[in-house]
């Protein structure tokens, strides 16, 4: 049983009344251990059982009033991510199989504690570049909500409300209010040839990664060019200047990466 007296001290009167009206199983789920960032573990809260419970209670009252004589035997199911996902596209299938295969290669090579990395995703799958990133490199100190402490966590990436993708959606929202633009043509069709339909990616992916992929290719090409030029350069002063510039560029990139975490 939950300690209602302790809970009453930290809730407003309205929130406490709402909490007391909930069934015991849901109270316990609301009080379970939080995520590392301090947020509630929403996937552990069985709202589908709450709906079934409330319907059952209402039907009991109707039976007492003589307005209902049937039986009620609910069977609930938690859909999780399935409830907010769309039909997997050719891009989704290619990315999933690429990441799974790369994970297997990392394990086979004896590399553990790694996350799969896939670059150049706005290009055809044959041009993707894969690798592994140590999980330790993605850790950052993050304050735990409700506690005066910070913990090392791998933060999830929030939707940027100022990003191009979200701003594009806001522009479309005004049209969606006035016009029904919803379509569901059925399952996505897959083609065996390397057609434009197969290589189609979502607008969000394209907006988020296209410029980054292009710039990465330019940087990679420039590094190869510098490497080739250094082979035929005998002037040590020029080599020291090039090395110093490259080290400075690497420090800038590292500092920006840590700042964004």
End-to-end CA distance of the chain: 40
Give 3-state DSSP helix, strand, coil % of the chain, rounded to 5: 55, 10, 40
The token pair that represents 147 in the structure block: 């506690």
Question: Which phi-psi region, left, alpha or beta, contains residue 141 (left: φ > 0; alpha: ψ -120 to 50)?
Answer: beta
Q: How confident is the model at residue 257 (pLDDT cuts 50, 70, 90)?
A: low
pTM, rounded to two decimals: 0.55
> Which tokens go with 39?
């947020």
Q: Which residues pair with 132 in a beta bridge?
A: 116
Strand, coil or helix: 151: strand
Alpha helices in the chain (DSSP H): 4-10, 13-20, 24-30, 47-65, 90-108, 164-178, 203-231, 236-259
pLDDT tens, residue by residue, 170-192: 888 888 888 887 766 666 677 66
Q: Answer yes or no: are the C-beta atoms of 21 and 43 closer than 8 Å.
A: no
The residues spanned by each domain of the chain are: 4-83, 86-259
Tens digit of pLDDT for each residue in 70-80? 899 998 887 77
Share of the chain above pLDDT 70, in %: 81
With a cut of 90, say whether residue 86 has pLDDT above it. no
Instruction: State the average pLDDT for the chain.
Output: 80
Q: For 2-60, write each residue's pLDDT tens digit.
A: 467 778 888 888 988 988 889 988 888 888 777 766 677 777 888 889 999 999 999 99
What tokens appear for 220 in the block?
Answer: 């990679």
CB atoms within 10 A of CB 201: 19
Half-sphere CA count of 135, side-chain side, radius 13 A? 8
pLDDT of residue 256: 55
Matching residue, tokens 């040590």: 236
The reported pLDDT for the residue numbered 1 is 44
**Distant-in-sequence, close-in-space partners of 204: CB < 8 Å, separation ≥ 6:** 165
* CA angle, residues 204, 210, 216, in degrees to nearest 5: 145
Residue 79 and residue 56 in contact, taking contact as beta carbons nearer than 8 Å: no
């Amino acid at each position: 049983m939950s300690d209602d007296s302790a809970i009453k001290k930290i809730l407003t009167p309205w929130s406490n009344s709402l909490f007391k009206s909930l069934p015991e199983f849901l109270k316990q789920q609301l009080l379970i251990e939080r995520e590392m960032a301090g947020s509630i573990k929403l996937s552990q809260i069985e709202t589908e059982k709450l709906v079934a419970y409330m319907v059952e209670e209402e039907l009991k009252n109707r039976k007492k009033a003589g307005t209902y004589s049937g039986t009620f035997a609910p069977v609930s199911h938690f859909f999780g991510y399935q409830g907010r996902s769309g039909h997997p596209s050719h891009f989704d299938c290619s990315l999933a199989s690429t990441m799974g295969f790369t994970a297997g290669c990392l394990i086979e090579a004896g590399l553990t504690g790694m996350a799969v990395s896939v670059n150049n995703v706005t290009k055809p799958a044959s041009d993707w570049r894969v690798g592994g990133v140590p999980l330790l490199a993605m850790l950052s100190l993050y304050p735990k909500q409700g506690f005066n402490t910070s913990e090392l966590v791998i933060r999830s990436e929030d939707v940027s409300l100022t990003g191009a993708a979200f701003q594009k959606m806001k522009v479309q929202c005004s049209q969606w209010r006035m016009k029904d633009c919803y379509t569901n043509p059925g399952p996505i069709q897959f083609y065996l040839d390397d057609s434009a339909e197969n290589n189609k990616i979502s607008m969000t992916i394209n907006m988020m990664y296209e410029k980054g992929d292009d710039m990465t290719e330019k940087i990679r090409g420039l590094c190869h060019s510098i490497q080739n030029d250094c082979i035929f350069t005998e002037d040590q002063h020029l080599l020291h200047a090039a090395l110093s510039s490259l080290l400075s560029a690497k420090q800038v990139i590292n500092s920006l990466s840590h700042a964004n975490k």
